[in-house]
C-alpha cells in the first residue's frame, strides 16, 4: 500500500505479481491510496493446487481484500487476467466500484478449463454496466476483439496504445497517462 486518497486496487495479469505495477504505483500514489495485490497462485500469495480454489474465488479475493481494509468502494484496475477478474466483479459486485479500468482483456468468454470456468462473463450483464469504465489495450493485441467489445461496454471509454502488443501496455507511458486522466475525470466515481 502507498499514498493517500481514493483507493485504487491493482489486479495483475497471469504469471505476474503486484510488482508488474511498479511503473504506475508512484504516479497513482500522489493522489490515491494504492493497493497492489498478489492474486492467489502468484507472487507471495498461497498457491493452491485444486482448480476449485481459483475460479470465482479470484474475484472474491478482491472483495475480501476490500472488506479487510474497510473499503466500501474503490477504483479497480486490472490487466489481462486481472482485467478478466475486474469484469467478473462488474457483474457480481458493481456496487464495490468507483470506476473500472480493464486492460488487455474482454473477459473469459468460455470456461476453457477447470481453472477459469467460474470467471466467465457473458455480454448481457456487461451491457447493463453503469460503472464508469476504461478499456485499454495494445493496438497489436487482437484489435478486432476489442472493436467487438465496444458493442458490449458501449458506455466505456476505449483507448488503444499504438504499436503495443499485449505485454508492453502496462509499462507504456500512454497506459499510465490514460489511467491517471481517467481516474482524475471520475474522482468519486462520477
* Tens digit of each residue's pLDDT, the chain (190 residues): 899 999 999 999 888 878 999 989 999 999 999 999 998 865 676 676 666 655 788 899 999 999 999 999 999 999 999 999 999 999 999 999 999 999 999 998 775 555 556 788 999 999 999 999 999 999 999 999 999 999 999 999 999 999 999 999 999 999 999 999 999 999 976 7
Q: Is residue 140 part of a domain?
A: yes
Query: Which H/E stretch holds residue 135?
Result: strand 133-138
Q: Is residue 179 part of a domain?
A: yes
Count CB neighbours of 85 within 10 A.
28
Q: Domain with 138 in it: what CATH number?
A: 3.40.50.1820
Q: Is residue 150 left, alpha or beta, with left meaning phi > 0 and alpha meaning psi from -120 to 50?
A: alpha
Query: What is the C-alpha separation between 60 and 7, in angstroms, rounded?
Result: 18
Cell of 44: 507471495
pLDDT of residue 18: 86
Domain that holds residue 177: 6-189
Query: What is the C-alpha separation between 131 and 110, in angstroms, rounded?
Result: 23
Overall number of domains in the chain: 1
Q: Is residue 1 part of a domain?
A: no
Query: What is the C-alpha separation between 153 and 123, in angstroms, rounded?
Result: 9
Q: Is residue 172 part of a domain?
A: yes
Amino acid at each position: 500500500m502507498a499514498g493517500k486518497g481514493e483507493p485504487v486496487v491493482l489486479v495483475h495479469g497471469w504469471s505476474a505479481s503486484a510488482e508488474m505495477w511498479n511503473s504506475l504505483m508512484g504516479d497513482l500514489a500522489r493522489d490515491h491510496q494504492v493497493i497492489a495485490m498478489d492474486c492467489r497462485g502468484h507472487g507471495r500469495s498461497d498457491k493452491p493446487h485444486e482448480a476449485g480454489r481459483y475460479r470465482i474465488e479470484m474475484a472474491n479475493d478482491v472483495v475480501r481484500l476490500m472488506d479487510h481494509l474497510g473499503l466500501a468502494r474503490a477504483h479497480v484496475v486490472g490487466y489481462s487476467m486481472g482485467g478478466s477478474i475486474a469484469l467478473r466483479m462488474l457483474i457480481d459486485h458493481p456496487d464495490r466500484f468507483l470506476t473500472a479500468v480493464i486492460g488487455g482483456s474482454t473477459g473469459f468468454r468460455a470456461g476453457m478449463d477447470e481453472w477459469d470456468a467460474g470467471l466467465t462473463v457473458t455480454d448481457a450483464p456487461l451491457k447493463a454496466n453503469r460503472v464508469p469504465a476504461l478499456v485499454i489495450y495494445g493496438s497489436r493485441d487482437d484489435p478486432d476483439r476489442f472493436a467487438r467489445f465496444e458493442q458490449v461496454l458501449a458506455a466505456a471509454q476505449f483507448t488503444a496504445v499504438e504499436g503495443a502488443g499485449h505485454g508492453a501496455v502496462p509499462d507504456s507511458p500512454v497506459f499510465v497517462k490514460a489511467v491517471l486522466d481517467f481516474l482524475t475525470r471520475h474522482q468519486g466515481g462520477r
